[in-house]
Amino acid sequence: MIEGRTLPEVPVAWDPWQFQELCVEAFVASWRARGFSPVTVDNDIGLLERTLKALGRPAWDVTPEDIDRVVGGLAVEGRAPSTRRGYVRIFKGFLRFLQARKAVEIEASFGVRLVCPVDEFNASRHVGDDSPALLPPPTPERVEEFFEFLKARIATARKHAPAARDYALFQTLYHAGLRSEEASLLDCPDVHFSRGPFGKLHVRFGKGAHTSGPRPRWVPMLDQLDLVLRWFLDDVRGKFPDSPALFADESGARE
């Protein structure tokens, strides 16, 4: 006590690897609390463990150069773009969790203020095989042909449900103007048909500016996107395993 005041509590001296292990356990517990299927949880646990092991340092110490090294190494090994995206996706999800739940403890214990090391340079250069900036946007006629192809594919595909899901997903990307990661993180309750004249999507994990973290926003369902998503939820989504994800794959995980 100093002049009647209590001294601030000294932070516990955590071992960084032990603390990260506890954070991983809490992150996994949050998946279960949100209702993710056991298959999804098991798959993502393995992916997160491989990602953190490859990075070789606690998540709060990871730099853009570490992301370059790991994701670029996967590219050199010939790993598929989807695999590389998976590493980036799971790391960004873990870091968002740390920013939301553990930022104060991490700064107090390790003197680090959390900043996401994934940026437009390492993500676009390594995770994709092409650069969207170098490709001209498709013409309206080309887009119409694309959606007609997807629609016809629903009737002829060996598996109806995945083809129908892909049609609804691409309609959402196009008419709502979402990024692919934003669409993949949509949950079924994020579709609000009663908001506004056309209904709205609650994009809870919208891209933030620089290091600000996710910025939620509401996006109107224009150009009859509400009809597409009503059809999808009523007639298609129930054919996939039960999970919160709006656009789930055949295991219930996110597309």
- pLDDT, tens digit (0-9, with 9 covering 90-100), for 182-240: 898 999 999 999 998 999 999 988 765 445 557 889 999 999 999 999 999 999 999 99
- If one counts the domains in the chain, the total is 2
Whether 150 and 192 share a structural domain: yes
Of 114, 132, 150, the one marking the end of a domain is 132
User: For residue 135, what pLDDT is reported?
Assistant: 58
Residue 188 located in a structural domain: yes
pLDDT, residue 123, reads: 63
Q: Please give the angle made by the CA atoms of 74, 75 and 78, to the nearest 5 degrees.
A: 90
Q: Domain check: are 55 and 124 in the same one?
A: yes
pLDDT one-digit tens code per residue, 45-80: 999 999 999 999 999 999 999 999 999 898 888 888
Whether residues 166 and 112 fall in one domain: no
In this structure, are 128 and 193 located in the same domain?
no
Please tell me whether residues 125 and 178 are part of one structural domain. no
Residue 4 has pLDDT above 80, yes or no: no
Burial class (CB within 10 angstroms; exposed 0-12, middle 13-18, buried 19+) of 243: buried
In a domain, 156, yes or no: yes
Query: What's the mean pLDDT in 159-172?
Result: 93
Domain boundary among the residues 106, 132, 158 is at 132
Sheet of 200-203, strand order: 191-192, 200-203, 217-220
Distant-in-sequence contacts of 45-52, Cβ < 8 A, 24+ apart: 47/86, 47/87, 47/90, 48/24, 48/90, 48/91, 48/94, 49/24, 50/87, 51/87, 51/90, 51/91, 52/20, 52/24, 52/91, 52/94
Share of the chain above pLDDT 90, in %: 51
Q: Is the predicted pLDDT of residue 8 greater than 70, yes or no?
A: no
Q: Which of 132, 164, 185 is the last residue of a domain?
A: 132
What local confidence, expressed as pLDDT, does residue 90 receive? 92
Kindly state whether residue 25 falls inside one of the protein's structural domains.
Answer: yes
Range of the domain at 162: 140-239
Average pLDDT over residues 98-123: 88
Question: H/E element holding 104?
Answer: helix 103-110
C-alpha neighbours within 13 Å on the C-beta side of residue 17? 6
**CA–CA separation, 44 vs 132, rounded Å?**
28
Report residue 13's pLDDT band, with 50, 70 and 90 as the boundaries. low
Over 90: is that where the pLDDT of 16 sits? yes
Answer yes or no: do 224 and 145 share one domain. yes
pTM of the model: 0.49
Same domain, 128 and 98: yes
Whether residue 117 is found in the same domain as residue 192:
no
Is 99 found in the same domain as 74? yes
Q: Do 179 and 228 fall into the same domain?
A: yes
- Residue 249: inside a domain: no
The confidence score (pLDDT) of residue 252 equals 67
Whether 22 and 122 share a structural domain: yes
* Residue 250 falls inside a structural domain: no
Report the chain's C-alpha Rg in angstroms: 21
Query: How high is the pLDDT of residue 130?
Result: 44
Task: Give the CATH number for residue 176.
Answer: 1.10.443.10
| Residue 119 domain-assigned (yes or no) | yes
Number of neighbouring beta carbons within 10 Å of residue 24 = 17
pLDDT of residue 41: 83
Tokens for 138, please give them: 């498709």
Residue 117 lies in a domain: yes
In a shared domain, residues 116 and 57: yes
* Res 62: pLDDT: 95
Residue 11 placed within a domain: no
Q: What value does the mean pLDDT take over residues 35-41? A: 79
